[in-house]
Amino acid sequence: MPINVIGAGLAGCEAAWQIANRGLKVRLYEMKPYKKSPAHSLDTFSELVCSNSLKASRLASAAGMLKQEMRMLNSLLMQCADQCTVPAGGALAVDRDIFSQLVTEKIRQHENIDVVSQEVSKLDFDDITVVATGPLTSEPLSEYIKSMFGGALSFFDAAAPIVTKESIDMSSAFTASRYGKGGGDDYINCPLNKEEFERFEQELVNAERAPLHDFDVANPKVYEGCMPIEIMAQRGKDAIRFGPMKPVGLTDPKTGHRPWAVLQLRRENAAGTLYNLVGFQTNLKFPEQRRVFSMIPALKNADFVRYGVMHRNTFIDSPRVLNSDYSSKQNPRLFFAGQLTGVEGYMESASSGLIAGINAARLCGGIDTLTLPEFTMIGSLSRYISDPTVSKFQPMGANLGILPPLEDKIRDKRERAEKYSERSFSSLEQFISEHDLNK
């Protein structure tokens, strides 16, 4: 019988790919295009609904380490991402439309994958199943999962607006990467002087926000990594100037000095016609977004092709219900993957789908499931989300803090990160060889 994979997002596509490449049949359920969540707009798979950045590309970093581990494990998502990069300084950013199209083509063309365009509302399959319905799991299935595990947690996530390149006033902006990293001109920087910033900050705090329909609007729980800019600004004077609008590492060539505050714009697509307002996730009403963000001199005539939106993320209490191989403690034939498990981030989600897919295939073949070495970022993430000692569980992204400490204490941060990476890749290479993981 085929292995079921529910959801064709990042984690679901990676899981289906890993299973299918091991010679097993996959039935991949996806409710698009017949039904979409409020945050989705494309009919294709693995749609990136927030940023188009997959975080740092440098191998000696937590995010870079994670992506390299995925490459070592023949990740579909990394193959596609590496084919459609756009300049982003030290980050790996992609043209989101091309990325989604590439993943969709690979999945639909695989002889072992049967795509079923259907919404799943219950997990009553007898076959091995991987649930990768994401942070925007449909209400019926969300309620079903909640009843299975005695409750679920949710928080709000927010996406930043996108503007056209031609509408940016370059006489009020300059191109540069912070500290000269990357190509040096990967970002368009929109500087503000002190007076301009203070006016902007005041209007931002007082701007009208969109209602959060069907959610607990009285006390929404917002994930820190996607904090809406207006919420952050409320935390105190200059809070955003020490956050997404920090000017450090940048010099305005027109003045020769560091600006008082800066909004960075990152290229959104390969053609360089669209730019993302970095760190400006927001839940302001659309007219308010145009009014307030246009107060930034370089955006005074900006053409907003997508406004920021806020949506719900849902995740289960994984330390109580999941094993480190991403299987359910109450049903070892049922696996979960993606942000639903509490891993936070695009590639973190895909990596969990990769491991869940490998383990679903192994279980189908009568082979013991496995967890990657604790020295790897993927292994440490799976251990974190299944650690029963974590009492107040919150989503976790790739970071060096979840790895076992190095034997030798190294003060230099870059050198320390390099040692973590070297240890990870060496450990994973041996593990792959010992367990024939890429066969």
262 with 278, same domain? yes
pLDDT of residue 216: 39
12 with 55, same domain? yes
Show contacts of 55-59: CB within 8 Å, 24+ apart: 55/91, 55/92, 55/345, 55/346, 55/347, 55/398, 56/90, 56/91, 56/92, 57/90, 57/91, 57/92, 58/90, 59/421
Nearest-angstrom CA–CA distance, 370 and 54: 26
Domain-ending residue, one of 274, 308, 342:
308
319 with 429, same domain? yes
Q: Quick check: 211 pLDDT over 90?
A: no
Give residue 221's pLDDT band: very low, low, confident or very high (50, 70, 90).
low
pLDDT of residue 212: 65
- Residue 297: asked if its preceding bond is cis (omega within 30°), the reply is no
Angle between helices 346-364 and 62-72 (to 10 degrees): 30
- CA distances to 55, 93, 121, 319, 328 from 150, in Å: 34, 38, 17, 13, 14
Q: Which pair of structure tokens corresponds to residue 44?
A: 């294709």
Q: Three-state DSSP class for 93?
A: strand
CATH of the domain at 290: 2.40.30
pLDDT of residue 222: 60
**Taking the model in full, what pTM does it have?**
0.83
The strand pair at 91-94 and 304-306 is best described as unpaired
* Residue pLDDT, tens place only, 168-184: 999 999 999 887 776 66
Contacts of 353 (CB under 8 A, 6+ apart): 10, 11, 12, 13, 14, 15, 18, 130, 132, 337, 338
Question: How many domains is the chain partitioned into structurally?
Answer: 2
In terms of residues, how long is the chain? 439
133 with 171, same domain? no
The alpha-carbon radius of gyration of the chain (Å, integer) is 22
| Contact in structure between 34 and 119 (CB atoms under 8 Å) | yes
CATH of the domain at 26: 3.50.50.60
> What is the average pLDDT across 204-229?
69
426 with 300, same domain? no
pLDDT of residue 218: 40
344 with 274, same domain? no
170 with 280, same domain? yes
| Contact in structure between 356 and 336 (CB atoms under 8 Å) | yes
- Write out the residue range of the structural domain in which residue 113 sits: 3-154+314-435
| Contact in structure between 47 and 96 (CB atoms under 8 Å) | yes
87 with 195, same domain? no
Pick from 148-162, 345-359, 421-435: least confident: 148-162
Contacts of 139 (CB under 8 A, 6+ apart): none
